[in-house]
Structure 1
Amino acid sequence: MELRDKIDQLTKELEKLKEHYLNNEKPENKKDREFFIFVKEQTTPVYQLIQDWEVEATAFVKQRKVRVHPQQVVSTSENLELLLMHSYYIDVKKKRYMELYKSIHYVFDLLLNDLESD
């Protein structure tokens, strides 16, 4: 899968996560084993996609003159992971959640623009 495809897939996942965050309540008990298993099942494929994206994005950024710095790729990967967990545990204010969300989209847009001009 190419970098562009991974960005598209992660963008779709972000939309699903945002919907989940906005339309669900906090879990009653964050230490509930069943809830943990549910979250793990839901997030494992997304975590793998994030890791794959980070490797490919880092390689792309290092080999070309682009507007994204390698540290931004690392930070975006970390933000994706944070957003993933916050979407299920709903343990952060909406303002902070949307800051992470917009930051991720900003880097994705820069990468997509650089891919287009490549």
Structure 2
Amino acid sequence: MTLHESIESLKKDLQHLHTYYETHEKPENKRDPAFFEYVKEETTPIYKKIKAWEQEALAFVKDREVRVHPQQVASTAENLELLLMHSYYIDVRKKRYMELYKSVEYVFDLLLKDLRAKNS
């Protein structure tokens, strides 16, 4: 998968997570083993995508003159992981959730612009 495809895929996942956050209630018992298994099943493939994206993005920003720094890539990967958990556990205020969301979108958009510039 190319970096562009990884970003597009994660953007779709991000939108799905946001919808889940908006439409579901906070779980009654965060320590419920059944809920934990459900979250684990849902999030494991996305965690793998995040790790793959992070490696691809780090290689891209390290080798080129781009607007994103390696530390921003690492921070964005962390923010994605936080969003992943906050989306299911709904344990953060909407304002904080949206700050994380917009931060991830911003870095994705910068990377996409740099990819387009490289390919043109």
Asked if Structure 1 and Structure 2 have the same fold, meaning a TM-score greater than 0.5 normalized by the shorter chain, the answer is: yes
d(CA) in 2 for partners of 1:37 and 1:70?
Answer: 33
State the partner residue of 1:77: 77
Identity fraction in percent: 66
Counterpart of 1:9 in structure 2: which amino acid? S
State the partner residue of 1:23: 23
Moved beyond 2 Å, runs of 4+: none
Q: Please tell me whether residue 64 in structure 1 is matched to residue 61 in structure 2.
A: no
CA RMSD of aligned residues (A): 0.2
Q: Deviations over 1:44-66 (max 9, x none)?
A: 00000000000000000000000
Please list every run of 5 or more consecutive structure 1 residues that lacks an aligned counterpart in the other structure: none
d(CA) in 1 for partners of 2:57 and 2:111?
Answer: 8
Q: Deviations over 1:17-76 (max 9, x none)?
A: 000000000000000000000000000000000000000000000000000000000000
Counterpart of 1:75 in structure 2: which amino acid? S
State the partner residue of 2:48: 48
d(CA) in 2 for partners of 1:16 and 1:110?
Answer: 21
d(CA) in 2 for partners of 1:19 and 1:109?
Answer: 20
State the partner residue of 1:101: 101
Residues matched between the structures, number: 118
Task: Give the superposition deviation at 1:80.
Answer: 0.1
Please list every run of 5 or more consecutive structure 2 residues that lacks an aligned counterpart in the other structure: none
State the partner residue of 2:87: 87
State the partner residue of 2:117: 117
State the partner residue of 1:7: 7
Counterpart of 1:16 in structure 2: which amino acid? H
Return the TM-score normalized by structure 2.
Answer: 0.98
Counterpart of 1:93 in structure 2: which amino acid? R
Counterpart of 1:65 in structure 2: which amino acid? E
SS in 2 for 1:4: helix
